[in-house]
Amino acid sequence: MKEIGTKKVFTTPALPDYILDRLKEYDMQVSFSPTPKGTVLMAYTFASRTNEAGVVLQIPGTPLLDAVNVIAQAFVDSVPLLLVSTVRSYRDNGRGRIGELRTIDDVMGILSPITKSRERVTSIEEITVGVEKTYKEVMSNRPRPGYVEVAEDLFKLKAYPLAGSEQRPEKKTPDKNTVLKAAELLGNSKKPLIVAGYGVLTSGAAQLLQELAELLDAPVVTTIKGKGSIPASHPLFAGEGLGLMGTRASSQLSTEADVILALGTSFPQLSTGGWSFQYKGLLIHNNVDGEDVGKSYLPQLPAVADTGLFLKELLNALRQKFKEKVNRGSADLLRKLRDEENIPQHEGLWPVDVFNVLRESGYSKIFLDITAPTIDAIRLPIEKPYTWVTSETLLERGVAVAGALEDGSEGTVGITDLTGVLRYMDMILASNGAMSTILVLDDENTSYLELTKSDLPSIGRTQVETKVDLKTKLGAIEVRDEKELRETFGNTSKGVKVVQVKLSHDYKSIVL
């Protein structure tokens, strides 16, 4: 693990001491969570904020099944996780040892659909190759979880230095003819529009995206997960979301654009407002995963390649045509199209009130669980890559709590609802040294994201109320109005700050 650049390992307190000592010997930081699920969640948020693999070490292996839904979310969300686990013995499996399933293949079989690569190591000679091969698969092209299973006996045997297998992550290079066709379409375009997805971030291409947008004077819309790929303060930023989930600017620009360049996105349900995104122009769709190209919208020009490499070649081709930056007046147009919040008068706190106060108070990173009370947070401005972490696929809660605790720095905010904090209360109670804030939007669980009536999510209501005093359980600060919220954000804390915001039950969303 040291040879592949691992600096931080996530595990549970049940990790054997002799393994913990070896990790410290190699100067690896070890982060603990009370449960395997919390461990995987922290690795997920670490990977998302660093663009590196989140390394999990779980011994024995079967408790890793507690985190199947988190691993599945990482698989769909393109989050790289290196899951290192164990089988009880390489000599006498199947005897019913504690921690064994029916057969040696069961854990690997369960994880098979939600991992990119799976390796079993039963000899010391296989360890280096097994770990490096899995790491290569995890980080190559579309990043996703990979699983390595090591026989526990091997940790007790005398080891000796082994040469690395020199396996390095691969990136899919773009087809030159496709790049030239894309450059021709964009070069002749009168009203180009760029849609930036999460693939821009995973390929490390945020700077290239900005250079392309400025060269073409093309507005940029991001997906929800792609926020931060261009600064929110940039004159060419047109907001996040498409279709009914989009801003006024993104909706108008997408219908007027004659060429749309979609980068590193699969056009997911939430970002497209239930696939309500409509356009009339030509679509160039880039994604490193060919399965995602044309899945929701059929492009005139598919471009299956690493987004960073594609952008680099595309910029080179366009600079042959444009010696200077184009000026279409896009920045002036976007200034006129900026959304002005039209919030009805209301009593009590609405989510939009909370996020307006948060915007005024400032933050450095946001970790968001997308739920009914929190979805308006997608309009928060994000200025830097990898400072916005969320999921818009399985919507598994835990990103907010795990991210706030794993990062731990002052200015980091995790945003969740009551269910999100109750589900991971053990992580908060076990936290040590975190200076971040966990913002709990509490409508007493009277609302939920309705996903069955329409492809466009809506706010559903329930008559069942869940009343929980987080002040007693977690030492939370309870706030009921904007003044109290401002005071709370302004106060410093010696540890993680949990803020329970009591929302009006009849709040309305500015997004849905």
CATH number at residue 152: 3.40.50.970
Using pLDDT thresholds of 50, 70 and 90, give the confidence band for residue 499. Answer: very high
Domain of 51 in residue numbering reads as: 8-156
State residue 457's pLDDT score.
94
Residue 95 has pLDDT above 70, yes or no: no
Which one has a higher pLDDT value, 67 or 151? 67
Is residue 331 domain-shared with residue 361, that is, in the same domain?
no
Q: Which of 306, 337, 368 is the last residue of a domain?
A: 337
Is residue 43 domain-shared with residue 130, that is, in the same domain?
yes
Q: Is residue 273 part of a domain?
A: yes
Q: What is the DSSP letter of 321?
A: H
Average pLDDT over residues 282-289: 98
Residue 94 has pLDDT above 70, yes or no: no
Q: Is residue 170 part of a domain?
A: no
> What is the pLDDT of the chain when averaged over all its residues?
93
CATH number (domain holding residue 287): 3.40.50.1220
Is residue 219 domain-shared with residue 131, that is, in the same domain?
no
Here the tokens at position 158 are 């005398």
Is residue 16 domain-shared with residue 145, that is, in the same domain?
yes
Using pLDDT thresholds of 50, 70 and 90, give the confidence band for residue 157. Answer: low
Using pLDDT thresholds of 50, 70 and 90, give the confidence band for residue 347. Answer: very high
3-state secondary structure of 430: helix
What contacts 403, CB < 8 A, 6 or more positions away? 45, 48, 49, 365, 367, 389, 412, 414
Using pLDDT thresholds of 50, 70 and 90, give the confidence band for residue 162. Answer: low
State residue 329's pLDDT score.
96
Q: Which of 303, 337, 371 is the last residue of a domain?
A: 337
Backbone angles phi, psi at 458, to 5 degrees: -140, 175
pTM, entire model: 0.95
Is residue 196 domain-shared with residue 240, that is, in the same domain?
yes
Q: 334 and 235 in contact (C-beta within 8 Å)?
A: yes
Q: How far is CA 294 from CA 234, 297, 313, 354, in A?
A: 30, 5, 22, 38
State residue 104's pLDDT score.
80
Is residue 388 domain-shared with residue 308, that is, in the same domain?
no
Q: Is residue 510 part of a domain?
A: no
Q: Is residue 290 part of a domain?
A: yes
Is residue 326 domain-shared with residue 397, that is, in the same domain?
no
Average pLDDT over residues 250-255: 95
Q: Which of 88, 121, 156 is the last residue of a domain?
A: 156
Is residue 311 domain-shared with residue 228, that is, in the same domain?
yes
Ranges of H-type helices in 240-324: 248-256, 307-321
The secondary structure element, H or E, covering residue 200 is helix 198-202
Residue 343 has pLDDT above 90, yes or no: no
Q: 224 and 195 in contact (C-beta within 8 Å)?
A: no
Torsion of Cα atoms, 176 then 180 then 185 then 186, to 10°? 90
Distance CA 138, CA 153 (A): 26
Is residue 317 domain-shared with residue 381, that is, in the same domain?
no
Among the ranges given (63-77, 145-159, 436-450), the one the predictor scored with the smallest mean pLDDT: 145-159
Backbone angles phi, psi at 62, to 5 degrees: -60, -35
Here the tokens at position 331 are 């920045």
Average pLDDT over residues 339-346: 80
Using pLDDT thresholds of 50, 70 and 90, give the confidence band for residue 161. Answer: low
Q: Is residue 165 part of a domain?
A: no
Amino acid occupying residue 495: G
Using pLDDT thresholds of 50, 70 and 90, give the confidence band for residue 92. Answer: low
Average pLDDT over residues 333-358: 90
**Residues 103, 109, 112, CA angle at the centre, nearest 5°?**
160
Distance CA 99, CA 295 (A): 41
What contacts 270, CB < 8 A, 6 or more positions away? 224, 245, 370, 392, 457
State residue 226's pLDDT score.
98
Residue 30 has pLDDT above 90, yes or no: yes
Residue 99 has pLDDT above 80, yes or no: no
Is residue 447 domain-shared with residue 368, that is, in the same domain?
yes
Of 500, 502, 499, the C-alpha closest to 491 is 499
State residue 51's pLDDT score.
97
Distance CA 122, CA 100 (A): 16
Backbone angle region of 112, left / alpha / beta, with phi > 0 → left and psi within -120 to 50 → alpha: alpha
Among the ranges given (204-213, 347-356, 492-501), the one the predictor scored with the smallest mean pLDDT: 492-501
Is residue 207 domain-shared with residue 289, that is, in the same domain?
yes
Q: Is residue 302 part of a domain?
A: yes
Of 6, 145, 137, 138, the C-alpha closest to 64 is 145
Q: What pLDDT, in 10s, does the model give residues 367-424?
A: 999 999 999 999 999 999 999 999 999 999 999 999 999 999 999 999 999 999 999 9
Helix axes 176-188, 307-321, angle to 10 degrees: 50
**Residues 172, 118, 123, CA angle at the centre, nearest 5°?**
120
Is residue 308 domain-shared with residue 401, that is, in the same domain?
no
State residue 493's pLDDT score.
82
Q: Is residue 77 part of a domain?
A: yes
**Domains identified in the chain, total number:** 3
Q: Is residue 344 part of a domain?
A: no
